[in-house]
Chains A and B, each alone.
Chain A
């Protein structure tokens, strides 16, 4: 049996509730984005906020806030298996009746831990790989294409760092735009046409990037391990600049 959910956290919580009610547990959950195997029974779960709240309250009693936060981090993952991984972790935790976050010899705990780590790793990487260009009106604009929905995770970092600087973070993959002006931030989720801004500093940075390369030690494979190729598109140092 596979649960078809609406892709939200409340959808997963409702699915958990229904499972305990019917004593039937699905082999997987999907939001309909992926192709299903033929022959598997598909059960649609209608998100019910009351049910969701009851499951969340239960978790909140068992887990410290740090752990419930991790669940909301996990749902930001770009991995299509995330619904199943989160569902299984919640069920394991409720069954255990206690916080088992570091019982990594358990498959469900391990998978959940890895899911969260990957989101956090990507967020951390983009604290470095975000590139702003300065527009003529003085606003700094950055576009990027992350696997996970991390715009609001990394926003506080940039707000702290660039307190006196107006800037925009534009996630082209999940269509999220966050803006920061005068200490205020606003995030919208909608498709916005990305900007193309020419910035002379980009050329200087490319000059810098090329000149500190030690040719005798070339090791592009290592570079790509740390800075995967899929991230190169919006890095000025990895592109020809006009």
Chain B
């Protein structure tokens, strides 16, 4: 069995990778151990409030590369360890059978060379599926620059893969991660996308939970607008399931990097905007210009509403879903509740309150069959839209979940 020290080093080194989702796959148990749950399941929560769904671990933290923002970079003096495929398999099975986890998120630093590392990862997931009969969730990190045949083979075995885009522009990548190239990251994403599309027509399971990626925010000078346009392209053109944002934390005193952390609020605002793009029908250019940053004062939906008084007020009794969800403070779940309830008769402000839908912010933007109860004073309105930031970070619940899950107040399971 793997030693506690090794586990400690290899999981500590993986903790800044923010994605943790176990959702989006419905792999069946074919007689062995494990299956995947479409909505994902959280098994525990860390003391920083993040969901533990997968065993998130590196094969090794020994790296030949020297990315400036990374604790595992070659030039950093940290304890190093490497696990064997068997150690990873046994740890995964041991944790899984005790219901500590939903599955494995296996990643690695670049050990010896990209192909060698990818082979190690592939060997591990192959063993886990074939030798240990594991049918639970596997998320595998792709190693940029590895042979595409290895990458494709891995895609047949796992539920989700991710190649991390890391930095929003090629210039920043060249500066901070000089051994990585945009091509090495983007081309496997495209290949996997094409393969998945092709297999779909044969009803063949290939990456059932698709691909995700991660961007580091605040290590380089790009503005939120630029980042979100990239996000939109990754969702649209490359069909990614999720883009994760990791706010930069200084881990070295490299002259290339800012000395200050990017802060949670910026990351939080990006997730909110991302959410609006994926589930609320917003386009990036409605929310923000290419060279702008998101408002720190207001969440992106409120900021949009303040700039678009002509869109309001919206009537609770007649507006279609896509308009209801543009009202500040009204989420998808509440909008659906409103649409269901109004089939039984006109809704009054009182009815909405009975349904425990908060109108603190919405009240200035809605009417009830023509009746308006809000304020016309700009000051009152903008004040009511400012939530205190602490309360809002607690609201991060929406960040890692899908609308269906947040509908049942379940969070953090993506």
Contacts and interface: CB of A to CB of B under 8 A. Distances in A.
B11 A211 contact: yes
A127 B35 CA distance: 13
B167 interface: no
B42 A204 contact: no
A209 B44 contact: yes
Contacts of B264: 217
Interface stretch (B47-55, B157-165, B230-238, B291-299): B47-55
Interface string B340-356: 11011001000110111
B49 A226 contact: yes
A164 B34 CA distance: 10
Interface in A147-171: 157-158, 160-165
Interface stretch (B197-205, B279-287, B378-386, B405-413): B405-413
Could you say which interface size class chain B belongs to?
35 or more
A222 B396 contact: yes
A212 B45 contact: no
A200 B47 CA distance: 23
If over half of B's interface residues share one DSSP class (helix, strand or loop), that class is named, otherwise mixed; here it is loop
A102 B347 CA distance: 13
A207 B394 CA distance: 26
Given A110-B354, A222-B396, A209 B46 contact: yes
A107 B43 CA distance: 34
A161 B34 contact: yes
Contacts, number: 172
A212 B52 contact: yes
B44 A128 contact: yes
A216 B249 CA distance: 9
Interface string A180-215: 000000000000000000011111110111011111
Contacts of A164: 31-33, 133
Contacts of B97: 132, 134, 140, 162, 165
B173 interface: no
A74 interface: no
Interface of A is mostly: helix
Interface stretch (A23-31, A50-58, A116-124): A116-124
Interface in A97-154: 100, 102-107, 110, 117, 120-121, 124-125, 127-134, 140, 142
Interface in B208-227: none
Interface in B289-333: none
Interface in A74-91: none
Nearest to B249: A216
Contacts of A157: 37
B12 interface: yes
A116 B395 CA distance: 24
Given A102-B340, A199-B98, A212-B56, A223 B33 contact: no
B337 A104 contact: yes
Given A105-B347, A209-B52, A212-B52, A124 B35 contact: no
Could you say which of A212, A227, A235 has the most chain B C-beta atoms within 10 Å of its C-beta? A212
A214 B45 CA distance: 12
Contacts of A110: 354-356
Interface string B10-39: 011011100000000000010111110100
Specify which of A100, A104, A121, A162 lies most central, judged by the most chain B CB atoms within 10 Å of its CB. Answer: A104
B249 to A, nearest CB: 7
Nearest to B90: A201
A201 B136 CA distance: 19
A203 B94 CA distance: 12
Contacts of B15: 211-214
B260 interface: no
Interface in B334-378: 337, 340-341, 343-344, 347, 351-352, 354-356
A5 to B, nearest CB: 28
A223 B47 contact: yes
A104 B12 contact: no
Interface in A215-232: 215-223, 225-227
Contacts of B42: 125, 128, 226
A227 B32 contact: no
A120 B39 CA distance: 14
Contacts of B337: 102, 104
Contacts of A104: 337, 340-341, 354-355
B99 A132 contact: yes
B277 interface: no
A99 to B, nearest CB: 11
A205 B54 CA distance: 12
B98 A140 contact: yes
29 contacts: A102-B340, A102-B341, A105-B344, A110-B356, A128-B44, A131-B100, A132-B97, A132-B98, A161-B29, A163-B32, A164-B33, A165-B33, A207-B4, A209-B52, A211-B11, A211-B15, A212-B12, A212-B14, A212-B46, A213-B15, A213-B48, A214-B16, A217-B48, A219-B393, A221-B394, A222-B396, A223-B46, A227-B44, A235-B44
Given A161-B35, A217-B48, 18 more contacts: A103-B340, A105-B341, A125-B410, A128-B99, A131-B99, A157-B37, A162-B34, A163-B29, A201-B95, A204-B2, A204-B7, A205-B95, A211-B7, A211-B11, A212-B12, A212-B56, A213-B47, A222-B49
In the A-B complex, the 7 residue pairs with the smallest Cβ-Cβ separation, listed nearest first, are: A222-B49, A102-B340, A105-B351, A217-B48, A219-B49, A212-B15, A128-B43
